[in-house]
């Protein structure tokens, strides 16, 4: 197989990044914009050692879950990956993605997974949009979205995931720029003024904030622009954000109100929240209510508990919990978000929630060492990279009765749950929530309960015994590993390859099983792709 070959294949599975996977000539072929069951002709775009990438050329017969993409830009835009999959299939894909991570990375066997919470209307759900502004080859102003994996801008003003008002807001800004000859920022030269237009809408209140991100402190006739924006129903805040750094980070730290307020408000359930431009706020409010409801259900508070809400943002989860707990301590790294959290507590008349600015991994050991406010329940909601290892250690030292883990990345979730469960917790409930329909992303809430000391002891002991059995043979045989690799990767690995990888991971080999008699005997090294495949198998069989 080589680049530009045209091949016929059937899509059998979907990768975690949303690419269709088929097989041809013993290779796994990843094809963008396809769904399970599609039979198609695809053009090979790149060939690696044991896999290839291709783009669809002609659909021969569509998979049962294929639907037409409602957005005309769906294929070019990097925002949505799975618009051509019907919604039930999207939910099934997400459930499988979470289950797969928990099994492969977390090593869990029996996973107490509950059905994914989906949306009734899986479009127009996003309350936040960030449109890059640029100039096309002909010198026209453009605004819209980055094409997948690039920084070239697709001119597109009406994203179907976002609020309908965005289109008018964006066109008003572009019109003003044209009228006054205001240049868009150019990433390559670092020159030009307008970088991004960011909008946020409180779906519960209808309030809209428009933030214009500029490579400078002011824009010509900006009050005139702000007045025009304020005429758009809902707009009540127009803000200039200064970002002069040559960076991919969208928002700068310096903010100035041009017209209206410096924050907007929103409601989730019967709580009211204020949101500053720089604070994190969940992007899908309809689903956020379900997500927080699940956190509350999993925490099952009786009113007597001390709860820690780590990575608390503007205190949204904290306030949900505070009404059922004795007290809540929220920890968050962004100072503006902490200020919002404090004001949000006041706004809702909640007096038993406190918020600290700092890194969760620093604050948690400090509170723990002070010995005053040990948590009965710990809630964590970290960014994609998951919890710092030192934070997990602190939690294990503290041994709260329950841990509720909210995650936007199944891989880091699985990694962290594995640590917590090895430290004496049991995974009791797993429920995903579709916060990001049409994309491959998924949010998951997990409940972990502390194992009673006796039970914990027994389980640890069993684990040790298993390890003592020179575990490899006790788990998967060489033949099983070979078959598994053949099935998944389509190539053969030798017993020697497997033995080498097992040794690399410290899995004890029986004496003289494929082992060189002396260290001097030269052994062929195991090729990297085979090492990876075998490691994947060892993880699958939970041997590493
Ligand atoms: N629970 C909140 C926010 C979750 S997003 C909500 O539902 O709205 C994750 C938050 O963690 C962000 O607000 C981010 O600013 C914050 N954060 C990132 N790294 C952190 C760290 N090391 N310690 C504390 N907070 C952190």
CA distance 382 to 68: 35
Per-residue pLDDT, 16: 87
Q: Mean per-residue pLDDT for 346-366?
A: 97
Inter-residue long-range contacts of 454-461, CB under 8 Å, 24+ positions, other chains counted: 456/424, 460/424
DSSP 155-200: E-S--TTS-THHHHHHHHHHHHHHHHTPPBP-TTT---SEEEEEEE
110 SS3 class: coil
Whether 408 sits among the annotated catalytic residues: the reply is yes
Determine the Cα–Cα distance for residues 98 and 115; give it in Å rounded to an integer.
11
Angle at 32 between CA 26 and CA 36, to 5 degrees: 70
Residue environment code for 78-112, b if the CB has 16+ CB neighbours within 10 A, otherwise e: ebbbbbbbebebbbbbbbebbbebbbebbbbeeee
| pLDDT at site 240 | 98
Give the model's confidence band at 473: pLDDT under 50 very low, under 70 low, under 90 confident, else very high. Answer: very low
Report whether 405 contacts 445 (CB < 8 A): yes
Q: Is the pLDDT of residue 57 over 90?
A: yes
Query: Which tens digit of pLDDT belongs to each residue from 271-327?
Result: 999 999 998 899 999 999 999 999 999 999 999 999 999 999 999 999 999 999 999
Please tell me if the CB atom of residue 359 comes closer than 6 angstroms to any atom of ligand 1: yes
What is the distance between the alpha carbons of residues 420 and 404, in angstroms, rounded to a whole number?
11
Mutate which of 295, 332, 380 for ligand 1? The one with the most ligand atoms within 8 Å of its CB, which is: 332
pTM (global) more than 0.75: yes
Task: Report whether pLDDT(455) > 80.
Answer: no
Side-chain half-sphere of 348: how many Cα atoms within 13 Å? 26
Cα 382 to middle of ligand 1, angstroms: 5
Three-state DSSP at 44 gives strand
User: How far is ligand 1, taken at its centre, from the CA of residue 310, in Å?
Assistant: 7
Does ligand 1 lie within 6 Å of residue 317's CB atom? yes
Task: Assess whether the C-beta atom of 331 lies below 6 angstroms from ligand 1.
Answer: yes
In Å, how far are 330, 410, 519 from 198, measured between CA atoms? 27, 28, 63
pLDDT of residue 464: 37
| Atom number in ligand 1 closest to CA 383 | 9
Is residue 316 within 6 Å of ligand 1 at its C-beta? yes
Q: Is the CB of 333 under 6 A from ligand 1?
A: yes
Of 321, 382, 314, the closest CA to residue 344 belongs to 314
pLDDT digits 0-9 by tens, 71-87: 999 998 888 999 999 99
Tell me how far the alpha carbon of residue 388 lies from the centroid of ligand 1, in angstroms. Answer: 12
Exactly one of 312, 387, 408, 446 is catalytic; name it: 408
Is residue 115 very low, low, confident or very high in pLDDT (cuts 50, 70, 90)?
Answer: very high
Q: How far is the CA of 166 from the centre of ligand 1 (A)?
A: 26
Count Cβ atoms within 10 A of the Cβ of residue 398 and give its class: 0-12 exposed, 13-18 middle, 19 or more buried. Answer: middle
The pLDDT confidence band at residue 523, using thresholds 50, 70 and 90, is: low
Q: Are 277 and 209 in contact (CB under 8 A)?
A: yes
Confidence of residue 509 (pLDDT cuts 50, 70, 90): low
Alpha carbons 58 and 47: distance in angstroms, whole number: 20
Which atom of ligand 1 is nearest to 279's Cα?
13
Mean pLDDT of 37-48: 96
What is the structure's pLDDT at 507? Answer: 75
Q: How far is the CA of 81 from the centre of ligand 1 (A)?
A: 25
Q: What percent of the chain has pLDDT over 90?
A: 77
Mean pLDDT of the chain: 91
**Which of 128, 289, 312 to mutate to test ligand 1, by most ligand atoms within 8 A of the CB atom?**
312
230 C-alpha to center of ligand 1: Å? 31
Q: Which residue has the tokens 């949000």?
A: 344
Q: What is the pLDDT of residue 111?
A: 96
251, 313, 320, best to mutate for ligand 1 pocket (most atoms within 8 Å of CB): 313
């Amino acid at each position: 197989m080589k680049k530009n070959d045209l091949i016929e294949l059937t899509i059998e599975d979907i990768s975690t990044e949303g690419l269709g996977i088929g097989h041809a000539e013993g290779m796994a072929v990843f094809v963008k914009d396809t769904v399970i069951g599609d039979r198609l002709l695809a053009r090979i775009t790149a060939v690696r050692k044991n896999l290839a990438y291709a783009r669809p050329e002609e659909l021969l017969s569509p998979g049962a879950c294929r639907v037409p993409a409602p957005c005309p830009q769906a294929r070019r835009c990097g925002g949505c990956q799975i618009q051509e999959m019907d919604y039930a299939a999207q939910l099934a894909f997400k459930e499988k993605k979470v289950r797969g991570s928990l099994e492969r990375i977390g090593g869990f066997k029996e996973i107490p997974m509950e059905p994914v919470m989906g949306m009734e209307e899986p479009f127009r759900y996003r309350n936040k949009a960030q449109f890059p502004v640029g100039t096309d080859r002909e010198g026209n102003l453009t605004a819209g979205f980055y094409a997948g994996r690039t920084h070239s801008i697709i001119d597109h003003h009406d994203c179907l995931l976002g609020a309908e008002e965005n289109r008018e807001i964006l066109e008003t800004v572009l019109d003003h720029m044209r009228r006054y000859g205001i240049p868009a920022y150019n990433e390559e030269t670092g020159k030009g003024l307008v970088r991004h237009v960011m909008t946020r809408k409180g779906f519960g209140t209808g309030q809209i904030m428009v933030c214009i991100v500029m490579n400078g402190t002011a824009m010509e006739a900006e009050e005139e622009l702000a007045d025009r924006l304020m005429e758009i129903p809902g707009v009540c805040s127009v803000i200039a954000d200064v970002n002069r750094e040559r960076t991919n980070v969208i928002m700068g730290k310096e903010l100035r109100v041009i017209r209206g307020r410096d924050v907007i408000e929103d409601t989730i359930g019967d709580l009211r929240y204020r949101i500053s431009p720089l604070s994190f706020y969940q992007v899908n409010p309809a689903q956020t209510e379900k997500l927080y409801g699940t956190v509350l259900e999993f925490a099952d508070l009786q009113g007597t508990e001390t709860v820690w809400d780590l990575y608390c943002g503007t205190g949204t989860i904290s306030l949900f919990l505070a009404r059922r707990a004795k007290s809540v301590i929220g920890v968050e790294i962004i100072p503006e978000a902490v200020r919002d959290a404090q004001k949000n507590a006041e706004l809702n008349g909640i007096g038993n929630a406190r918020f600290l600015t700092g890194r969760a991994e620093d604050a948690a050991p400090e509170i723990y060492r002070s010995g005053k406010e040990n948590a009965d329940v710990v809630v964590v909601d970290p960014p994609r990279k998951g919890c710092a290892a030192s934070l997990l250690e602190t939690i294990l030292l503290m041994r709260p009765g329950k841990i509720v883990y909210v995650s936007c990345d199944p891989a880091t979730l699985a990694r962290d749950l594995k640590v917590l469960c090895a430290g004496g917790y049991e995974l009791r409930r797993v429920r995903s929530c579709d916060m990001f329909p049409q994309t491959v992303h998924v949010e998951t809430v997990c409940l972990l309960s502390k194992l009673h000391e006796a039970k914990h002891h027994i389980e640890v002991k069993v684990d040790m015994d298993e390890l003592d059995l020179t575990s490899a043979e006790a788990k998967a045989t060489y033949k099983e590993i070979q078959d598994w690799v053949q099935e998944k990767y389509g190539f053969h690995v030798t017993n020697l390859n497997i033995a080498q990888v097992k040794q690399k991971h410290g899995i004890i080999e029986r004496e003289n099983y494929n082992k060189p008699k002396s260290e001097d005997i030269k052994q062929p090294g195991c090729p990297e792709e085979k090492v990876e495949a075998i490691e994947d198998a060892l993880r699958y069989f939970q041997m590493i």
